[in-house]
């Protein structure tokens, strides 16, 4: 008997993340968009599901001509020198 493959899961933040990714796909790379891409890469890294989101995150890296290492390096620099999320009024931590 063959082992069953694990079933893909629905991420609880899929709907709001899908909206962010749809926006990123329409816009150019800038500090906020790079930070959003990095944040979502971390969120979905190793997640068993949300294959559409993971594919679009890969597509954005390719479109913006970045490796994941380049993205994380650039966003570390962005966060060290500016407050890219300062316009957010929601005080909730969003690293889930």
Write out the chain's pLDDT in tens, 96 residues. Answer: 555 667 889 999 999 999 999 999 999 999 999 999 999 999 999 999 999 999 999 999 999 999 999 999 999 999 999 888 876 555 555 554
What's the pLDDT at 87? 60
Residue 53 in contact with residue 44, Cβ under 8 Å? yes
Q: Where are the domains of the chain?
A: 32-81
pTM reported for the whole predicted model = 0.82
Counting Cα atoms < 13 Å in the Cβ hemisphere of 12 gives 3
At residue 70, what are phi and psi to the nearest 5 degrees?
-60, -45
**Residues facing 9 on adjacent strands:** 49
What CA–CA distance (Å, rounded) separates 72 from 37?
Answer: 9
């Amino acid at each position: 008997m063959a082992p069953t493959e694990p079933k893909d899961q629905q991420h609880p933040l899929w709907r709001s993340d899908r909206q962010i990714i749809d926006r990123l796909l329409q816009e150019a790379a800038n500090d906020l968009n790079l930070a959003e891409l990095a944040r979502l890469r971390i969120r979905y890294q190793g997640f068993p599901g949300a294959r559409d989101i993971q594919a679009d995150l890969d597509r954005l890296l390719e479109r913006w001509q970045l490796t994941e290492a380049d993205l994380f390096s650039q966003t570390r620099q962005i966060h060290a020198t500016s407050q890219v999320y300062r316009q957010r009024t929601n005080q909730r931590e969003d690293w889930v």
